[in-house]
Structure 1
Amino acid sequence: MMNLTKQLIEYVKKPGYRPMKPKTLAKKIGVTKKKAAKFDAALEEGLASGEIQLSDSGRIRSKVPKGNHLGIVHRIKSGDAYVILREPKPVGLTDDVFVDKKDLKDAQNGDEVLIGLLQRRKGRGQRCGYVVEVVERATNVFVGTYSEDDESGWVQIDGKDFLEPVWVGDPGAKGAVEGDKVVIEMLRFPAVGQIGEAVLTEVLGTRGQPGVETQMVIHEFGIPEEFSPAALEDARLEAENFDEDNLEGREDLTNHTIVTIDPATARDFDDAISLEQIEQGHWLLGVHIADVSHFVQPGTALDRDAEKRGTSVYLPTKVIPMLPEVISNGLASLQENRVRYAMSAFIEFSKEGIPIATRFARTAIRVKQRFAYEEVMPILATPENEEIEGVSPEIRGLLKNMHTLAMILRKRRFEKGSLELDMPEVRLDLDQDGNVSGAHESEHDESHEIIEEFMLAANIAVAVRLTDEGLNFLRRAHPDPAEPKLKALKEFVEILGFSFDRFQSRQDLQKLLRVVRGTPAERPINYAVLRSLKQAVYTPMEMGHYALAEDHYCHFTSPIRRYPDLHIHRLMASIIFDNLADTRPSEEELIRLGHHCSVTERRAEQAERELTKIKLLSYFEDKIGEQLHAVITGVDRFGFFCRGIEIPAEGLVPVATIPGNDYFEFDRPAMALVGRSTGETFRLGDPVLVEVARVDVDRRELNFRLLTHSSPKRPPKKTAQRDQSKKKPSGKMSAKSGRKPSSKRGHGGGKRKRNQNRKKR
């Protein structure tokens, strides 16, 4: 064992080693399948020693050398970057580290890097640093626009991270023509004085053609789209072997009154509800979840594909499921009037909503009726109305009881300190060709809250049971926010005129969110609260869930679309069948799986937002000059962002385009732009009227032009030399010029530099 551990550590510490997944590493050092268990033990030993570490993506890397620090690169428009340090941070260093572009090497946005610290500091004492090496790339695959110049092919990568095109060799590779959207894999990343070099791997077509924008995002985020032939074969075999009359080992609930409530556009249905009142006025809630673990066995090709994906991806124009549709939309989907296998949680509540007892079982159910959210509210509004077509008195009574219990649970949850941020998502209105005809914010009414409360109750009940059993499992954790973040939130909230004295108190934060609801400050304060919180993650560590005010929480209710839920189902099945010894994953395996599932979840969310943004930008391309009522959602020194009310698209009003000749100073604590002469103030929550000024889909930019704005003005600043010169103080922005008066602009420098680089090649 010691020899294999030593061999593993020595390989990882070799110069030029790049972090790799455990399976790849095992192959590299010559470990056969027969010795896989020994390798896992050696890996666990190496990690325990601290000589090697596990990255967020589940790759093995060497420990951080003394004097260096790990962080994630966040590049800014100038080409410079800030590095967001990993924990634990150096003592006394709380801010991000500034890295000049000449000290970045070839590090790109999102890369994990090793940095050293410099003695010099920026304004306000911010530490500066330099990149020692790139530890792990965020990605090697990019999407961009193809062009030809100087008898070579070039690709301008979408977005703002790459200022210059990347060389892709001989023109016409893969049949690409000018203007095509293409996929490239980077061979050499660009750096100061060095052009990027890549290989063109796929031609997607011209942007605007059906499906091209969706494929752009799928490739940009590296989302697996096709299932392996072996996984598809596993799914087909499960379909052939499924017999809905075979209920062996299952509790038969097929005659119980069970319903589902889902979005009208839902394609898979993984949760269903039953509810009855029992003795002493208690409630017996049944939460019935699709038993995916019956169809997806550990270690199969189907399981490997599902784990790799981690989650289903719900793009505006396409769903990329975690499991093949024969399972996700067929065998495991709790469809109306079909016998389906389920994992059921039965929770008994007192009439006050206090959980009394829980029981879990593998069951067979038959959903009596499926509802869309939009159908439930009219029934709840008039539960005694027998004229509602197709809804029996029994079902109406069930829905009424569901609403009653859900509101009791909801009230108790908030009394306990649970938080709720009102952050509606943007939903696109698409025509038959998949083009955007409009957009709206998603609604969240009491029909959604019913299902939300019952799913939360089931997730908590399962997490408590697994904890009581002394099992390691994949928790859904939400760490407590850092105190400096809460202090910054307090300052911001009080500048907007709201009281927030006890910023460490969850109850006071909850009260703040209630007070601002329905006011112009609601959205900016919700965003500010969200920025002050840490991200929720999957981990076996007992961190609790801050936003829900729960000590134990996991995801159990969506195994069709989330791999962590499938993991939980397997553990629950082991409890039910009393064979826990066979399914105890190691803590190391759970840490790796948690990292992986957290990453794939964030990837799916980012991909959905990115395609939504691209579709909205495409919608606005032919709407230059169209007016929108909007609300300011973000402020920076270069301008302010605002979000449309009728169409919830967010765009920038550059400070240079604000009417008039005033100079605007950025008041960071107040998140406001303040006119030096007039006192005109642009701050979060202000209503504005804007018009569409500029759209650049490839760079993901939407610019508005301000038409009207009304808000309280601050008194103009008094300065001794105010009338002597209109010159803007260094570092302040001018509405007239949009830049520092002393700055010099180059013309065509970028192109000249690129041509010089080509000649060097």
Structure 2
Amino acid sequence: MTNLAKRIIEFVQRPGYMPMKPKTLAKKLGITKKKLAKFEAALEEAKLSGEIRFSEGGRIQPKAARGSHLGIVHRIKSGDAFIILREPKPVGLTDDIFVDRNDLKDAQNGDEVFVKLLQRRRSRGQRCGYVVEVVERATNVFVGTYLEEDESGWVQIDGKDYPDPIWVGDPGAKGVQEGDKVVIEMLRFPTVGQNGEGVLTKVLGSRGEPGVDTQMIIHEFGIPDEFPDDVLNEARLEAENFNENDLTDREDLSEMTVVTIDPKTARDFDDAISLKKIEKGHWLLGVHIADVSHFVQPGTQLDREAETRGTSVYLPTKVIPMLPEIISNGLASLQEGRTRFTMSAFIEFSAEGIPIETRFSRSAIKVTQRFAYEEVMPIIKAKPSEPIEGVSDEIRELLKNMHELAMLLRKRRFAKGSLELDMPEVRLSLDTDGKVTGAFEAEHDESHEIIEEFMLAANIAVAVRLNDEGIGFLRRAHADPAEAKLKAFSEFVTILGFELEKYQSKKHLQALLRSVRGTPQEQAVNYAMLRSLKQAEYSPMEVGHYALAEDQYCHFTSPIRRYPDLHIHRLVSSLVCDNVTYRGASAEDLIRLGHHCSTTERRAERAERELTKIKLLTYFEERVGEKITAVITGVERFGFFCRGVEIPAEGLVHISNIPASESYEFDRQAMALVGRRTGDMIRLGDKVIVEIASVDVDRRELNFKLLTHTASKPPAKKGAAKKSPSRGKKGSKKPNSKQSKPRKKKPSTRKKKSAQKRRKKR
């Protein structure tokens, strides 16, 4: 082992070392630019020795101490935590490890830690442990509300992870006022019996002021917002150098009829479609994707910034792009009537929709016409004799052909075993100040399905070609779910009254999802199914894509907003140019990049959901006491969750907010609250009328009070559950609504106990 590799290991394994990125470690070790190549080689040598490792965020960490295990902290309301072990899990440890709050040290929710096992177990046999060391913090930056007490400044962090405020020193720093939303950086995390300590870094303003909630989320999730000057300068230089008439080494498709179909509110347009019917009844589909790789070269400041961001973030009030707008909304945006550089995938399909041949091209197109999703289906469904203003006969024919081929591909995809969960996306109606005036679930009709099918076809075609060429690339991987989770899902839907004959069968899962469509239980079943599946991620590993039923799949169609797509474009370009422009990355770099892009993608999704929740809570805050109609989406021992019908926000009806005329017990098997006196059931899918009882925006809480409950009827025929083979051994019984009523069993239990007492007295 080289001396430099030994130095790296020695530094990383020092007491008190905090995980850092390679660039930071190089500075700490005094590595000059001339020696960076040697440093990277030594870093790889140290990693291969097993003495150091890389976190998902790309930071360098020491190896686990003997007998300790690496995992993520998930704190619960009591202050205790479960440690979710990293894959691959140690032999014999399949469950999460329980850690008492006194054994957590200063570990917080989401932190990566080393944990050791204790001899004791919980009542059900679950292993207990204690935190040895915090390896990497989920974050050091938090958003909260400023307050003053005992001549000191304090910040109550938003959410429920920190019940006690954090001390931030002398009051009035940075002109802060009580009640302001602020950003702090944690200096010392709180532990049992000791307050946390932080430093106030930014004052955002009073909650409720326009834009403050958006800034809260940007800082809470650490999303890079403004672009550095050197990145903007590179983008401006690309704009100056762009010549749309210079088509050297590009296939000129500017005379081809090409259309785009996007949301009305779309700001960047990165995909366009052409389609021809050719001989033998075959189809020639052209999927033309903005060639971002032309403007963003590997190793440039633009490229490094795009990789750091990983993805664009689409908040309800603001888009935070992966690339400066001069590129994302200008040079690379496929605007109508403008020549734009593209990467084209031409796929020939048989009359039956079977892919026959694929060709890729560095091209230039000029979009003939742009459509919003809402405009497409009326055109397709219109009678031939019915004139449509602004749409030529050629375009009408193109749209109808697109619909015909897309529905054919869709039919074949589902026949192959592809799954589709109906997960409604909440969209907000906002006024000029960003306040919610209403909310709705986004529509998803056949116009969306047209583009969806063509994008899937292109992604599959690219992945198949790269795989055939033996090139390492970032796949969009979706591993098969664990059998235990599918079995639990099967038992859950059987309890609801639906039939799932073979939970391992994609066709039976498809049939189930079709059967719940339009029922009150639809959302609960779809969410339960989603929780049964593993998360899709970016990885060079060839694990396939379970939900799409594809062995080879990658993301190619959105390089303006996703870095993995840009990576794929460079590889496709290298194929077209005979490997002159880009040679790809090593397997280790692909694993690191995959982890990073998966992390930034999930961060963006969480940020969007959280800001949507905050805005909906603010909307309800002004409506405490109003009545709304809702559908029950989850049932727990402490109450039930329900989602508004007109405004799709989810809140809790605590058991104490259910009318006192009846007391309820939780029946876990039936996923219901059962009345002790009447046997009435409150279960998933039931409609309720609730009153908005209380709202706490800072804690992200919405509480309802039950007014009226309408029990849903069983969605399947009697006996449907009996047909399910997931019931277990012959003769075992699945609980139905009658069996779930516990009140009939209680008298006999009382008689037994009283008889035992009498015997003791005798």
Check 1:383–1:536 CA distance in 2 against 1; reply closer, same or farther (3 A cut): farther
Letter in 2 for 1:113: V
Instruction: Report if the CA contact (8 A) 1:383-1:400 is conserved.
Output: no
Partner of 2:730: none
Contact 2:251 2:364 in 1 (8 A): yes
640-649 or 113-122: bigger deviation: 113-122
Provide, for residues 364-405 of structure 1, a one-character-per-residue CA deviation record: whole Å limited to 9, x for no partner: 100000000000011111152542110000000000000000
Matches within 5 A, 1:394-405: 394-405=394-405
* Structure 1 unpaired stretches of 5+: 725-761
Letter in 2 for 1:540: P
Q: Show the counterpart of 1:516.
A: 516
Counterpart code for 1:511: A
Q: How does 1:468-507 map to 2 (within 5 A)?
A: 468-507=468-507
Distance 1:95 1:675, change over 3 A: farther
Q: Distance in 2 between matches of 1:477 and 1:159?
A: 32
CA deviation map 1:637-693 (0-9, x unaligned): 111110011110000000111112544332333322223333222222121111111
- Corresponding residue of 2:42: 42
Is 1:102 equivalent to 2:102 in the alignment?
yes
- 1:386–1:393 Cα contact (<8 Å) kept: no
**Pairing 1:91–2:91 present:** yes
Q: CA–CA distance in 1 between the matches of 2:675 and 2:54?
A: 50
Paired position in structure 2 for 1:208:
208
Q: Which stretch has the larger CA shift, 267-276 or 245-254?
A: 245-254
Asked if 1 retains the 8 angstrom alpha-carbon contact of 2:573 and 2:581, the reply is no
Structure 1 letter corresponding to 2:367: V
Q: CA RMSD for the aligned pairs?
A: 1.5
Residue 746 of structure 2 aligns with which residue? 719
Displacement of 1:46 in angstroms is 2.8
The answer for the alignment partner of 1:275 in structure 2 is 275
Query: 2:426 maps to what in 1?
Result: 426
Counterpart for residue 169 of structure 1: 169
Tell me, in whole angstroms, the C-alpha distance in 1 between the residues paired with 2:670 and 2:418.
28
Aligned residue number for residue 735 of structure 1:
none
Structure-2 separation of matches of 1:88 and 1:696: 39
Asked whether 1:304 is paired with 2:304, we answer yes
Structure 1 residue 134 displacement after superposition: 0.9
Q: Is the 8 A contact 2:270 2:289 kept in 1?
A: yes
2:722 equivalent in structure 1: none
Offset from partner CA, 1:324-356 (integer Å, 9 cap, x none): 111000000000000100000000000111000
Larger mean CA deviation between 298-307 and 339-348 belongs to 298-307
2: CA distance, partners of 1:472 / 1:179: 53
Shift of 1:582: 4.4
Counterpart of 2:746, as a letter, is T
Structure 2: distance between partners of 1:504 and 1:19? 41
Which residue pairs with 1:294 in the alignment? 294
Amino acid at match of 2:17: Y
**Which residue of structure 2 aligns with residue 546 of structure 1?**
546
Shift of 1:292: 0.4
Is the Cα–Cα contact under 8 Å of residues 44 and 588 in structure 1 kept in the other structure? no
Distance 1:359 1:537 in 2: 27
SS at structure 2 position matched to 1:124: coil
Q: May I ask how many residue pairs the two structures share in their alignment?
A: 724
Provide closer, same or farther for how the CA distance between residues 500 and 48 of structure 1 changes in structure 2, counting only shifts above 3 A. Answer: farther
C-alpha distance in 2 between matches for 1:385 and 1:157: 63
Shift of 1:583: 1.7
Partner of 1:133: 133
- Cα distance change on mapping 1:355 and 1:383 into 2, 3 Å: farther
- What's the offset of the Cα at 1:592? 0.9
C-alpha distance in structure 2 between counterparts of 1:702 and 1:158, whole Å: 14
1:675 lines up with 2:675 in the alignment? yes
Secondary structure in structure 1 of the residue aligned to 2:440:
strand
SS at match of 1:285: strand
Match of 2:181 in 1: 181
What displacement does 1:6 show? 2.5
What is the Cα deviation at residue 119 of structure 1?
Answer: 2.1
Amino acid at match of 1:652: L
2:5, 2:42 within 8 Å by CA — same for their partners in 1? yes
Shift of 1:48: 2.8
Question: C-alpha distance in 2, partners of 1:67/1:662?
Answer: 51
Q: Please, what TM-score do these two structures have when normalized by structure 2?
A: 0.93
Structure 1 residue ranges (4+ consecutive) displaced by more than 6 angstroms after TM superposition: 721-724
**Worse overlay, 138-147 or 714-723:** 714-723
For 2:583 and 2:183, the matched residues in 1 are separated by 41
What CA distance in whole angstroms lies between the structure 2 residues aligned with 1:128 and 1:661?
41
**Aligned twin of 2:588:** 588
Aligned twin of 1:601: 601
Paired residue for 1:63? Answer: 63
Counterpart in the other structure of 1:529:
529
The correspondence of residues 135-534 of structure 1 with structure 2, limited to 5 A, is: 135-382=135-382, 384-534=384-534
* Alpha-carbon distance in 2 for matches of 1:681, 1:518: 22
Structure 2 Cα separation of the partners of residues 670 and 57 of structure 1: 41
Q: Which amino acid aligns with 2:232?
A: L
Q: Is it true that 1:75 corresponds to 2:81 in the alignment? A: no
Q: Classify the secondary structure of the residue corresponding to 1:181.
A: strand
Q: Distance in 1 between matches of 2:420 and 2:679?
A: 36
Higher mean C-alpha deviation, range 708-717 or range 52-61: 708-717
Shift of 1:548: 0.6
2:470 & 2:169 partners in 1: Cα distance? Answer: 58
What is the deviation of 1:253? 0.6
Q: TM-score, normalised by structure 1?
A: 0.93
Residues 570, 582 of structure 2: 8 Å contact kept: no
How far apart, CA to CA, are the structure 2 residues paired with 1:154 and 1:673?
41
2-side partners of 1:523 and 1:475: how far apart?
Answer: 29
Distance 1:58 1:239 in 2: 32
The gaps in structure 2 that reach 5 residues or longer are 714-736, 752-762
Pick which of 490-499 and 25-34 moved more: 25-34
Q: Which residue of 2 aligns with 1:9?
A: 9
Partner SS, residue 397 of structure 1: helix
Distance in 2 (alpha carbons) for counterparts of 1:253 and 1:153: 64
**Distance of aligned partners of 1:432 and 1:387 in 2 relative to their CA distance in 1, 3 Å threshold:** farther
Which secondary structure does the structure 1 equivalent of 2:124 belong to?
helix
Structure 1 SS opposite 2:512: helix
Q: Bigger CA drift: 389-398 or 511-520?
A: 511-520
Spell out, residue by residue over 1:290-323, the C-alpha distance to the aligned partner (whole angstroms, 9 max, x if none).
0000011111111111111110000000000011
CA drift at 1:699: 0.4
CA 1:512–1:716 in structure 2 vs 1: closer, same or farther (change >3 Å)? same
Q: Map Cα deviations across residues 499-534 of structure 1 (whole Å, 9 max, x no partner).
A: 223222222212211121111221111000100111
Three-state SS of the structure 2 residue aligned to 1:707 is: strand
Deviation at 1:722, TM superposition (A): 8.3
Distance 1:268 1:573 in 2: 22
Q: Distance in 1 between matches of 2:385 and 2:247?
A: 37
Q: In structure 1, what is the Cα distance between the partners aligned to 2:431 and 2:639?
A: 34
